């Protein structure tokens, strides 16, 4: 069994990104990322801090905009409009999920698609489906694809089961893997909570991508011997033996599945580091395009 180390692959991606940033700086240009956080969700706050730290480490300009949970739709839309017009900002990210009274889709659609480094704007979704490389791909599936490539896993002709159908991971993951070219050309099945006999469907796969958001949802009965497993899930479960009172586990029961696998990502330390690394890469790409 090979453990696919997301931290080391993320470090490679960040080094590539750092080189591109240095090239931009020779022209007097610094890539800028704005992250907007509405409310005080602890997981979102931690994620935003990580993004801020990574920007600083790479030499990017980072702007963190924290707004109270009482922020109105109009106030948030005004901030997005200001960022769209700001030449110092090349990437805009509104942290999800916002408070319930905020229409998240309307906010996403208000972001300039050229600055939508999360890849959720309808224009970028359409470009992914059409295999138009001028769009932005959501960071987590892009990171999963990079992990497969880095681990030497051949996707061409492979049977892949993606468990989960969200717009954030499942659907874009399927389109990436189906696309023509390196890291694609796979035969993809999307499974989900309504799939009949999920275990039997998963056992057909050479590669299983677990992105269903339920702790240890996939066990040994879901994975055939010699399969590759990419575990996107990051779930908190109670653990009184830890200082925090919880620990992080994936959507896959690592202990029972790992011994069957050709390769598998751990949680934490697998897909997680890749998401922020790909976000930084997308931001630099946005900067390169906007300043060309």
- Give the CA distances from residue 284 to residues 82, 135, 262, in Å, rounded to whole numbers and listed in that order: 20, 13, 34
Check if 118 is active-site. Answer: yes
CA distance 269 to 260: 20
Residue 92's CB is within 10 A of a number of other CB atoms, namely 27
95 carries an active-site annotation: yes
CB atoms within 10 A of CB 47: 18
Angle at Cα 116 formed by Cα 139 and Cα 140, nearest 5°? 10
Of 51, 115, 127, 171, the active-site residue reads 51
CB distance 144 to 173 below 8 Å: yes
Q: Which residue has the tokens 């030499």?
A: 59
* Residue of 112, 116, 118, 231 marked active site: 118
Is 52 in the active site?
A: no
* Half-sphere exposure of residue 229: CA atoms within 13 angstroms, side-chain side: 35
Chain-centre distance of CA 157, in angstroms?
24
Lookup result for tokens 């799939």:
195
The C-alpha torsion from 147 through 153 and 159 to 164, rounded to 10°, is -10
Residue with tokens 């470090």: 11
> Taking Cα atoms as reference points, which of 129, 132, 201 lies closest to residue 163?
201
Instruction: State the number of CA atoms in the 13 A half-sphere of 198 facing the CB.
Output: 17
Give CA–CA dist 62/54, Å, rounded: 9
Both tokens of 246, joined, read 């919880």
Catalytic residues, by residue number, are: 51, 95, 118
């Amino acid at each position: 069994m090979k453990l696919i180390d997301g931290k080391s692959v993320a470090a490679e991606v960040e080094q590539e990104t750092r080189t591109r940033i240095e090239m931009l700086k020779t022209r007097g240009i610094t890539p800028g990322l704005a992250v907007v956080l509405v409310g005080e969700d602890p997981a979102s706050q931690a994620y935003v801090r990580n993004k801020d730290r990574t920007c600083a480490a790479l030499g990017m300009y980072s702007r963190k905009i924290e707004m109270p949970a009482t922020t109105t739709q109009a106030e948030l839309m005004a901030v997005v409009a200001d960022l769209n017009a700001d030449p110092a900002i090349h990437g805009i990210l509104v942290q999800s999920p916002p408070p319930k009274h905020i229409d998240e889709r309307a906010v996403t659609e208000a972001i300039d698609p050229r600055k939508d480094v999360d890849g959720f704007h309808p224009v970028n979704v359409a470009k992914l489906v059409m295999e138009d490389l001028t769009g932005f791909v959501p960071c987590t599936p892009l990171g999963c694809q990079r992990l497969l490539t880095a681990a030497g896993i051949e996707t061409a002709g492979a049977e892949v089961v993606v468990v989960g159908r969200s717009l954030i991971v499942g659907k874009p993951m399927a389109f990436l893997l189906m696309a023509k070219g390196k890291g694609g050309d796979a035969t993809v099945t999307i499974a989900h909570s309504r799939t009949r006999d999920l275990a039997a469907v998963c056992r057909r796969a050479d590669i299983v991508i677990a992105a269903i958001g339920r702790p240890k949802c996939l066990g040994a009965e879901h994975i055939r011997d010699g399969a590759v497993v990419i575990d996107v899930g990051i779930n908190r479960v109670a653990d009184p033996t830890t200082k925090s009172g919880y620990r992080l586990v994936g959507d896959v029961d690592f202990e029972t599945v790992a011994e069957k696998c050709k390769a598998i990502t751990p949680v934490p330390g697998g897909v997680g580091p890749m998401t922020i690394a790909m976000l930084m890469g997308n931001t630099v790409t946005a900067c390169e395009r906007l300043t060309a």
